[in-house]
Amino acid sequence: MRLPTPKWLRPVALVGGLGVALSAQAQSLLDLYQSARNYDATYQAAKAQFDATIARGEQSLGGIYPSANFSASATQTSQASDLPVLNGMSYNAQAGTISVTQPLYRPANWASYLQGKKQQELAQAQLTAAEQDLIIRISQAYFDVLAAADNGEYVRSLKAATAEQLASAKRNFEVGSATIIDTRDAQAKYDLVLAQELAADNDLRVKSLALDQIAGKEGSKPKPLLAPVALGHLLPDDVSQWVTLSETSNPTLAQLQTALDVAKLETEKAEAGHKPTLDLTGSYTASNNTGSMTIPTAFTLNATTIGLVFNVPLFAGYSIQNRVKETLALEEKARNDLEAARRNVAQATRAAFFGVKTGLSQVLAYEAAEASSQSALESNQLGYRVGVKVNIDVLNAQSQLYSTKAQLSKARYDVLVGELKLRQSVGTLAMDDLQPINAQLAP
């Protein structure tokens, strides 16, 4: 069962740090994800492990399928004797044998075969987990770059506004309508913004390099979101439904459940040490001889044999009993590992669910704070012009506005990534979940 993907976004206008002068080489989230699938070393290693585990599971067929062997021999016999009639004689012999063995009753082999099938299920769960991890890593890196770009854009806007305020303070000081304090406050604020701009530029550079490393593209340029952004509701809006789904869909739980099944089969293999085995055997031998010490003339011999081999274990020095004790203990360990993981997954799902819910509320709060900060800035600017506010009030209002804008931008990205992480925790995350986000990127 897959949960419906909410319609997160509503395009209205293009805005944001990367919204200006988009490069023709800008990539969407799906573009970079597809690139990462073909490049990311962690994911490629998981695929190789998947292939290896599938092949290992197929090896177990050897215990239940028949086995066949072919052998050939060629000999030459020369004899020497003090009897003239036997001295100097030489004989040649060539023989070929095909032998086949079909296990009829081998409980340990059958348990190994079932373990091989379980190993294939384990491989699929591991690959699914690796794919989901790649989706989260590329999405997180993608939105980290967008958030860093937005922050840099806001810092540059703040720099321009602070520079304008600094110029205004200098003019007012020159005409005598303001004190030197206003000029120094504006200069200090402007110098601080310059330092923030350097930090923002470096943060964007680092985040971009991290995205390049995952996607395998040099100079990746993520497409920004169309904004203003209207985030939808989280569906279903019931944490218990998400937790219930995680119990059946989470790949980590699937791996540990498979590990428990394998441990149970290992116990069956150990107990099979007490049981008899039965094999069907057959062989065909063809030989050609030029003679022998007992038969002086050339002859051929073809022989066919078929039979049953029955084996009953009697005593193995208590090794089987102790092996059973070992496998029972390992089975109990696997059972407790599964239970611990189930509790951890349920807790992680709840945390991810409430993280998204809190993020949605934070976005609404930041949107209200942005409007309030804009209004406060305009009021301070008006008060400064009429003389009831000082320059530092305007500077603080400007700083608060752009800081709120940056926090709002990051909160939106966190909600988008948080919803993907929630689906990862449940175990339903797939490439299709990127489509609604990808559709809302700048064209």
Q: Give the Cα separation of 408 and 410 in Å (integer).
A: 5
Residue in 138, 67, 64 with CA at minimum distance from that of residue 108: 64
Beta-carbon count within 10 A of 86 CB:
12
Q: Is the pLDDT of residue 251 over 60?
A: yes
Average pLDDT, the chain: 88
Q: Are 97 and 70 in contact (CB under 8 A)?
A: yes
Residue 277 has what pLDDT?
94
Q: Are 161 and 398 in contact (CB under 8 A)?
A: yes
Taking residues 417-428, what's their average pLDDT? 95
Q: Is the pLDDT of residue 74 over 90?
A: yes
Q: Residue 390 is encoded by which pair of tokens?
A: 């000082």
Q: Give the Cα separation of 31 and 24 in Å (integer).
A: 13
What domains sit in the chain, N to C, each tagged with a CATH number?
13-66+107-274+321-438 (1.20.1600.10)
Beta bridge partners of 303: 285
Residue 12 has what pLDDT?
31
Residue 15 has what pLDDT?
37
Q: Is the pLDDT of residue 55 over 50?
A: yes
Taking residues 16-22, what's their average pLDDT? 41
Residue 357 has what pLDDT?
94
Residue 369 has what pLDDT?
96
**Between the CA of residue 164 and those of 50, 62, 87, 154, what are the distances in Å?**
60, 80, 122, 15
Look-up of token digits 């193995």: 316
**Burial degree of 72 (CB within 10 A; 0-12, 13-18, 19+):** exposed
Q: Residue 249 is encoded by which pair of tokens?
A: 């869909």
Q: Are 32 and 215 in contact (CB under 8 A)?
A: yes
Q: Give the Cα separation of 211 and 189 in Å (integer).
A: 33
Residue 293 has what pLDDT?
66
**Burial degree of 84 (CB within 10 A; 0-12, 13-18, 19+):** exposed
Q: Is residue 78 helix, strand or coil? A: strand
Q: Is the pLDDT of residue 244 over 60?
A: yes
Beta-carbon count within 10 A of 222 CB:
25
Q: Which DSSP helix (H) or strand (E) runs through 308? A: strand 299-311
Q: Which DSSP helix (H) or strand (E) runs through 225? A: none
Q: Which DSSP helix (H) or strand (E) runs through 44? A: helix 41-59
CA 339 to chain centre: 22
Q: Is the pLDDT of residue 5 over 60?
A: no
Q: Are 18 and 207 in contact (CB under 8 A)?
A: no
Residue 19 has what pLDDT?
42
Residue 96 has what pLDDT?
95
pLDDT band at 85 (very low <50, low <70, confident <90, very high): low
Residue 389 has what pLDDT?
82
**Between the CA of residue 260 and those of 28, 52, 271, 324, what are the distances in Å?**
41, 21, 17, 15
pLDDT tens figures, 101-140: 999 999 999 999 999 999 999 999 999 999 999 999 999 9
**Between the CA of residue 251 and those of 153, 257, 341, what are the distances in Å?**
40, 10, 11
The length of the chain, given as a count of residues: 443
How many percent of the chain have pLDDT more than 90? 68
Look-up of token digits 């030459």: 76
Residue 69 has what pLDDT?
96
Q: Are 197 and 17 in contact (CB under 8 A)?
A: no
pLDDT tens figures, 360-382: 999 999 999 999 999 999 999 89
Q: Residue 378 is encoded by which pair of tokens?
A: 């305009």
Q: Residue 53 is encoded by which pair of tokens?
A: 């585990």
Taking residues 418-443, what's their average pLDDT? 91
Q: Is the dihedral of CA 244, 249, 254, 257 positive or negative?
A: positive
Q: Is the pLDDT of residue 227 over 80?
A: no
Residue 87 has what pLDDT?
65
Residue 89 has what pLDDT?
72
pTM of the model: 0.83
CA angle 46, 48, 53 (to 5 degrees): 90
Residue 86 has what pLDDT?
63
Q: Residue 123 is encoded by which pair of tokens?
A: 């491989």
pLDDT tens figures, 190-226: 999 999 999 999 999 999 999 999 999 888 899 998 8
pLDDT band at 228 (very low <50, low <70, confident <90, very high): low
Q: Are 36 and 138 in contact (CB under 8 A)?
A: yes
Q: Is the pLDDT of residue 334 over 80?
A: yes
Beta bridge partners of 90: 78
